[in-house]
Amino acid sequence: MRYLILFQLLFLSTCFFAAGVKGKVTDTKGEPIPGVNIYWINSGTGTVSNQNGEFTLEHRDNSGKLVFSNVAFRKDTVHVLPDQQLVNLALKEVIELQELQVVKTAPGTFKSRFTALQTERITAHELTKAACCNLSESFETNPSVDVAYSDAATGAKQIKMLGLSGSYVQMLTENIPNLRGISSLYGMSFIPGPWIESISVSKGTSSVRNGYEALTGQINVEYKKPHLSEILYANVFASDAGRLEANVTSGIRLTENLSTGIMLHASDELMMMDDNGDGYMDIPKIQQRNILNRWFFNNGDYTFQVFVKALSEKRTGGTMDQRYKIGIETERYEFFLKNGYVFDHANETSLGWIVSGSLHNQNGMFGRRMYKGQQDNIYSNLIFETTVADHHKISTGLNINYDSFDEVLVQDMASSMVNPNYKAKELVTGAFAEYSLHLHEKFIGMAGIRADYSSQYGMFVTPRLHLKYTPWKALQLRTTVGKAYRSPRMLAENNNYLASNRRFVIAENLPLEEAWNYGFSVQSYIPLFGRELSLTGEWYYTDFQKQVVIDVDQDVHKVLFYALNGQSYAHSIQVEATMEVVKGLSVTLAHRVNDVKTTINGELREKPLTSRYKGLATASYTTPLKKWQFDFTTQFNGGGRLPDPDEVNPLWNREFGDYTIINSQLTKYFRTWSVYAGVENLTGFVQENPIIDVANPFSVDFDATNIWGPTHGRKFYVGFRWSWDRN
């Protein structure tokens, strides 16, 4: 019955797409200009042109004057008529020289100057600076998001933001909640890097439009759009660890209004590697096949999109002789539909509806342990928005989210113990309202509230407030306060602990997790030697009222899940500086300090396996005429606490130390193609003894989850990119 409902919704649903002004920015020779700031005059609303010089911007200002600004070009202002939807502009260089080719390099990361939220946008260009094979490898050059292996056997990667695990970060694709529940462990590898148009990272609680989650932040992934992307693009990658990967994407404009896109991905890990000689594969063998198709239609006031995606993946890990074997098979199917109609461009009045769904099946064997899980999801979001007066805008809507879980956990296949099925169904219906105030270029305020009713947890209310003040052009102040909730799914989100022989002990009636998040940030843009120095300082504090504690300290042979009884919080302070030091050379320096503590077994303690600090230094140099590009990244990772070892028979230390990871890449550009080569973990640093009681995989002491550092050494890779651009 649920599949019938799913397919009925597939054909009957509709999503909000606010139409407005779109266009392209070029130089006087017709070459696209990326990185142009485009904003309505006397307004805080704006955007930045993408790598193809294209942009889309909602109508915000009745004056209709659109400003185009870039440090390498003369600033220009265009008057836009109320019903005008297309603006193409050619900017003139600041200095025009004869017989000199002017080459523009787009910055890979933008910090928004026009929104109340502290948002950072990672472009496709930034993703080419490292071996970005999938989403989990997209944050190598980003100081705000940490990515690390969750264990030494399955290859599962988890992200951390503001010192807390990725389960507290709301993951979105195309502004739709995704990678939740069972897909949260391995889902970061389900999105190939060459498919990504951009990644937006917002810290703290976000807009109430997208739900009640996002306790520490929000990450939204935008796929390539068929009407904007390359006609044909190919990327081939190979590493000395035996990894081969191929990606092909295509965007075809069938008519002026209709476009379609196809994306293909295939990857294989062909070699079993054991560089540290412990008898276990350093990296599991992973075989993945991934396909995506989307359609885009727009006739001015009406926009329609269809998106379908299918994935099949097999992971094989464990001992080299497969005496102890880990085998995980996954099948996942996704779709979304988006429809939207703009009734009044002058007042930005529009109505839209989005419906999405996914089917996820995972079967896993971990030695003598087994986990099978199935999750079905349907999501709907209806949004209405309008401008009620000059500088005042409201958005309101309705959300529905349905999750069905059917999970089986067998803790020991050799035991005759009966293992119950874990089944859960949760239907959450909610309503929200959000008010935005834009007072010229000085002040932006956004206040939102939503009320949701869960069939499992009852009613709860989510208030949020975001403020931005610009006392003068070079300084921006932001503050945020908001509440967020999360439905805990202990087996689905933590079955990586099956890569140990710890017993799962799950308390009954676990609560809906609840936390307040407070944040303050300062951004300053300082003219220096004819260039711009960007300085950012930020502080965030997450305070839990209710939480499910994952306790690996109380008993070395168990992982316990129970409700928090006491304090739990996370402090995060970060400073960052970015500047183009000389022509073509951009440098970023960042440092973050984490203070994360939870009440464990009645005692407020530092959370285990959490680095106390992280430093980042990146340098990217592009030669004149963009023939060569050199990228260099250094990560400084601070030490932290390990789970408590056995008092009688301690098999590991209580602390782990700091370590440094260095990555480097060289790219050679040609007219339509490029080749690149690089090295990850240049110094070859690996965690010593990542697996406890490595010689006895079926003993009670075996544990591959005490991971705090890399499990593989130096890795070299080469790749090839080719594109048939639309221009």
Residue pLDDT, tens place only, 422-477: 999 999 999 999 999 988 778 999 999 999 999 999 999 999 999 999 998 899 99
Instruction: Provide the pLDDT confidence category of residue 131 given band limits of 50, 70 and 90.
Output: confident
Task: Assign 496 to helix, strand or coil.
Answer: helix
**β-strand pairing of 558-563 with 503-506:** parallel
Distance CA 675, CA 518 (A): 44
Distance CA 113, CA 108 (A): 16
Q: How far apart are the first and last CA of the chain?
A: 48
Task: Assign 94 to helix, strand or coil.
Answer: coil
Residue 116 lies in a domain: yes
Question: Please, are residues 45 and 39 in contact by the beta-carbon 8 Å criterion?
Answer: yes
**pLDDT at 359 (0 to 100):** 98
Burial of 262 (0-12, 13-18, 19+ CB in 10 A): middle
Question: Please, are residues 46 and 21 in contact by the beta-carbon 8 Å criterion?
Answer: no
Query: What tens digit of pLDDT does each residue of 609-661 get?
Result: 999 999 999 999 999 888 999 999 999 999 999 999 999 999 999 999 999 99
Question: Please, are residues 55 and 33 in contact by the beta-carbon 8 Å criterion?
Answer: no
CB atoms within 10 A of CB 695: 9
Residue 670 lies in a domain: yes
Give the pLDDT mean for 470-489: 95
DSSP string over 232-253: EEEEEEEETTSEEEEEEEEEEE
Contacts of residue 282, Cβ cutoff 8 Å, sequence gap at least 6: 273, 274, 275, 276, 711, 712, 713
Residue 86 lies in a domain: no
Distance CA 710, CA 713 (A): 7
Instruction: Provide the pLDDT confidence category of residue 300 given band limits of 50, 70 and 90.
Output: confident
Burial of 414 (0-12, 13-18, 19+ CB in 10 A): exposed
Contacts of residue 64, Cβ cutoff 8 Å, sequence gap at least 6: 79, 80, 81, 82, 84
Instruction: Provide the pLDDT confidence category of residue 12 given band limits of 50, 70 and 90.
Output: very low
Share of the chain above pLDDT 90, in %: 73
Residue 388 lies in a domain: yes
Query: What tens digit of pLDDT does each residue of 70-118 get?
Result: 766 777 888 787 667 778 888 877 543 333 334 445 567 878 887 888 8
Give the pLDDT mean for 36-56: 77
Instruction: Provide the pLDDT confidence category of residue 8 given band limits of 50, 70 and 90.
Output: very low
> Between 340 and 44, whose confidence is greater?
340
- Which of 96-105, 196-205, 301-310 is predicted least confidently? 96-105
Beta bridge partners of 253: 259
Q: Is residue 137 within a helix (H) or strand (E), and if so which, with residue range?
A: none
Give the pLDDT mean for 273-290: 93
DSSP string over 3-27: HHHHHHHHHH--------EEEEEEE
**pLDDT at 73 (0 to 100):** 76
- Which of 57-71, 272-286, 598-612 is predicted least confidently? 57-71
Q: Please name the amino acid found at residue 508.
A: E
Distance CA 348, CA 301 (A): 11
CATH number of 398's domain = 2.40.170.20
- Which of 97-111, 563-577, 709-723 is predicted least confidently? 97-111
**pLDDT at 59 (0 to 100):** 65
Beta bridge partners of 467: 445, 479
Task: Assign 97 to helix, strand or coil.
Answer: coil
Q: Where do we find the tokens 């035996």?
A: 242
Distance CA 72, CA 8 (A): 52
At 706, list the tokens: 């005490």
Distance CA 177, CA 399 (A): 11
- Which of 60-69, 374-383, 432-441, 574-583 is predicted least confidently? 60-69
Share of the chain above pLDDT 70, in %: 93
Instruction: Provide the pLDDT confidence category of residue 34 given band limits of 50, 70 and 90.
Output: confident
Give the pLDDT mean for 480-486: 98
Distance CA 488, CA 657 (A): 31
Question: How many domains are contained in the chain?
Answer: 1
Residue 714 lies in a domain: yes
User: What mean pLDDT is reported for the chain?
Assistant: 90
**pLDDT at 606 (0 to 100):** 98
Give the pLDDT mean for 534-541: 97
- Which of 80-89, 170-179, 682-691 is predicted least confidently? 80-89
Q: Please name the amino acid found at residue 583.
A: K
Query: What tens digit of pLDDT does each residue of 135-145 get?
Result: 998 999 999 99
Q: Is residue 144 within a helix (H) or strand (E), and if so which, with residue range?
A: none
Q: Is residue 493 within a helix (H) or strand (E), and if so which, with residue range?
A: helix 490-494
Distance CA 515, CA 272 (A): 43
Residue 121 lies in a domain: yes
Burial 444-455 (b: 16+ CB within 10 A, else e): bebbbbbbbebe
The residue range of the domain holding 120 is 111-724
Question: Please, are residues 669 and 635 in contact by the beta-carbon 8 Å criterion?
Answer: no
* pLDDT for 605 beyond 90: yes
Residue 88 lies in a domain: no
**pLDDT at 61 (0 to 100):** 47
Instruction: Provide the pLDDT confidence category of residue 390 given band limits of 50, 70 and 90.
Output: confident
Residue 618 lies in a domain: yes
DSSP string over 592-613: EEEEEEEEETTEEEEPTT--SE
**pLDDT at 18 (0 to 100):** 39
Phi-psi region of 281 (alpha: psi -120 to 50; beta: other; left: phi over 0): beta
Predicted TM-score (pTM) of the model is 0.87
**pLDDT at 76 (0 to 100):** 83
At 414, list the tokens: 């050799």
Question: Please, are residues 355 and 337 in contact by the beta-carbon 8 Å criterion?
Answer: yes
**pLDDT at 399 (0 to 100):** 96
**pLDDT at 44 (0 to 100):** 58
Question: Please, are residues 589 and 576 in contact by the beta-carbon 8 Å criterion?
Answer: yes
* pLDDT for 669 beyond 70: yes
Instruction: Provide the pLDDT confidence category of residue 55 given band limits of 50, 70 and 90.
Output: confident
CA angle, corner 290, sides to 287 and 294, nearest 5?
A: 175
